[in-house]
Amino acid sequence: MAMAGCGGAAADHDRLGDRHYREGRYAPALAEYRAAQRTTPRPEVWAKAGAAALRAGDAMAAVDAFERLGTGDPARVAEAARGLERAARLGMAPGQPGQPGSPAVTAAVMALRRLTPDRPLGRLAASSGLDGASRRDAVRMLPAAIAAAGDHEDVDRLLIQYANGLRATTACESAVKIYRTALRRVGKSELRGDARAGLAACALQLGLDAMSTQRLDAAEQWLAEAAAADSTGAAGVQARISWGAVRLSQGDVLGAAIAWQAVASMPAAPDSLRQVATARLNSLGHAGPPDGGKDTVP
């Protein structure tokens, strides 16, 4: 009897939602459809909830309803995807609380990717800030966003975001290529700084990886690129210290001293790294610069 009562209550909410919808009261209709789903969820009611949410201008509620529709009934995935696209466009409409890069747009794009991994995202991907996406999901979607972006600065920003995502998923060799491309394109100083810092971090990691396997020539190339990319940032300074260690391993004591002295005499370098460089200099017996402090790493 209790179960029958629950089912009856759900049916009542469903019918009341239909009545509100027919009479153009979409927010109350959405509330009734949601109430109906609390006891006996049915895909067809999620479809009605999604439609009511769109009419009510509630993009986030529409995303939730249409994703639940596609998850609950695989035969209606295409219908759910169309609803999610409408929810994303609603989020981008002038005067709506959701704008490109907002949680509603990002949520719609992410739901589309989960339900229909092969569906082209086009401008929807470019309009999503992807702030709520996992790193791996963002990396999968950013090429589509870059291809759809029309503004030069948007492309540059997305390129750097793509490289950052690759770096976070340990794909540093691929990330380095994207950072280099971004640096050839980017004119805005803030974006150039982001690209330089990312390139330095990735090149440093690749240099350290090469050092760990005794590939000293490759390590030197990567560390030199890291130091050049962001000479006063933490990654660039760390690269100079490691570069000195590579030179010492190659028997180049003077080269190691020059690299470490460059860090020890660099006012902008973090104090902890300057101390490391000074300690390594002292271990060589070079407490001061060989020529009065003018040496730098080539």
Per the confidence metrics, is the pTM higher than 0.85?
no
Query: What pLDDT score was predicted for residue 226?
Result: 93
Query: What pLDDT score was predicted for residue 50?
Result: 95
Structure tokens at 242: 């490691």
d(CA 188, CA 198): 16
Query: What pLDDT score was predicted for residue 134?
Result: 46
Query: What pLDDT score was predicted for residue 268?
Result: 81
Are 176 and 209 spatial neighbours (Cβ–Cβ below 8 Å)? no
Task: Tell me how crowded residue 183 is: count the other CB atoms within 10 A of its CB.
Answer: 18
Are 230 and 210 spatial neighbours (Cβ–Cβ below 8 Å)? no
d(CA 62, CA 58): 6
The amino acid present at 121, given as its one-letter code, is: L
Query: What pLDDT score was predicted for residue 64?
Result: 94
What is the percentage of the chain residues whose pLDDT exceeds 90? 40
Query: What pLDDT score was predicted for residue 291?
Result: 41
Task: Tell me how crowded residue 194 is: count the other CB atoms within 10 A of its CB.
Answer: 20
Residue-by-residue pLDDT tens, the chain, 298 positions = 344 444 567 778 999 999 999 999 999 999 999 999 987 789 999 999 999 999 999 999 999 999 999 999 999 999 999 999 889 888 776 544 444 446 777 788 788 878 887 766 655 554 444 444 444 555 455 555 554 555 566 667 777 777 777 777 677 888 888 888 888 887 767 788 888 888 999 999 999 999 999 999 999 999 999 999 988 888 999 999 999 999 999 899 999 999 999 999 888 888 889 899 899 988 886 444 444 333 333 3
What's the chain's Rg over C-alpha atoms?
Answer: 28
